[in-house]
A and B are shown apart, each in its own frame.
Chain A
Amino acid sequence: MVEDLSMHIADLLENSFRAGAKHVELRLSLLRGTLRLEVNDDGSGMDGDLLRKAADPFFTTKRHGKRIGLGLPLFLQTVEELGGTLEVSTRPGGGTRVRAEIPWHHPDRPPLGDLAETVVPIILTSPGVEFRIVLEGNGERIELDTERLKEELGISCLTPEAMGPLMRMVREAMDRVGLKEGA
């Protein structure tokens, strides 16, 4: 059902939006053969009970679908199949951090997919949400911060016309840090 890691990332970002997040950070780093994927948000967070149940797709879709969704259970399944780890840190009113570590060279690892084509349209269709994308690898650290970008450009919002340049920027950054599209 979920064919590439970018689809999981889209799902995790959607969870952040549904939690009312106004700031979302996506971090991807490739260090010593391990892909660390992290989504941080300042949304409503979850209490302990909800967090425990968050891995249960039936529970989440029935009672808390609007807040959690199916994304987390599916991502957990993928990470476990690869022998990776998944941590969720959250508290009510205090946002959520989802952090996964995945062995990059595992033969069954799904491809990363087209991160630029996944994330940039989401950025451009999420009014009121600021994004920070941090990519690390090959000794480089590259950051895209929509709030800072808008300040620098003197504009109040990013319009659909920004899609091409932003996608090129993400693709170039991915190449520089060793996270090739479709890898």
Chain B
Amino acid sequence: MRPEELKEIREKAKARLGLRSGDVRVRIVVGMGTSGIAAGAREVLKALLEEVSRRNLTDVAVTQTGERGLAAKEPVVEVHEGDRITVYGEVDEALARRIVVEHVVNGHPIQDRIIEVREVVG
């Protein structure tokens, strides 16, 4: 890796971590089980990371998990905000970017692409 690239990684990581004032506000979780991967979850994961990075969303974390038991709806993306989990199904790269912009940034869930909303108790 070139020195300028190492510097870029270091400086941006430090800037992001320095800006983080507290807990992560939103956690976006992508189902990366076999069916999710086969349906395009890799491209979804990459698009989400690009949008979060491009918009400098320091209070948003993107992670991945295994099968969610929703094979027919893969790729599946969950948006975790406090006690609420909004589940989107059949997510492609374009919808992944919309989720970041419309739901995470502007606070307007994309109603017609939601397959489930769960309230976490306790």
Interface positions of A (Cβ within 8 A of B) = 1-3, 6-7, 10-11, 14, 17-18, 65-66, 69-71, 74, 117-118, 121-122, 124-127, 149, 152-163, 165-166, 168-169
Contact = CB atoms under 8 A, between A and B. Distances in A.
Contact of B1 (A65, A157, A163, A165): A165
A69 B62 contact: no
Interface residues of B, number: 32
Contacts of B32: 10, 14, 122
Interface of B: 1, 5-6, 8-10, 12-14, 16-17, 30, 32-35, 37-38, 42-43, 45-46, 49-50, 52-53, 61-64, 66-67
Given A10-B37, A14-B32, A127-B63, A117 B9 contact: no
B53 A69 contact: no
12 contacts: A7-B37, A117-B42, A117-B43, A118-B42, A125-B45, A125-B62, A149-B9, A153-B6, A154-B10, A156-B17, A160-B50, A165-B1
A71 B34 contact: yes
B13 A66 contact: no
B52 A160 contact: yes
A161 B66 contact: no
Shortest Cβ-Cβ A-B pairs, 8 listed: A161-B12, A160-B53, A165-B5, A70-B34, A153-B10, A155-B13, A121-B45, A160-B49
Given A121-B42, A159-B16, A160-B49, A18 B10 contact: no
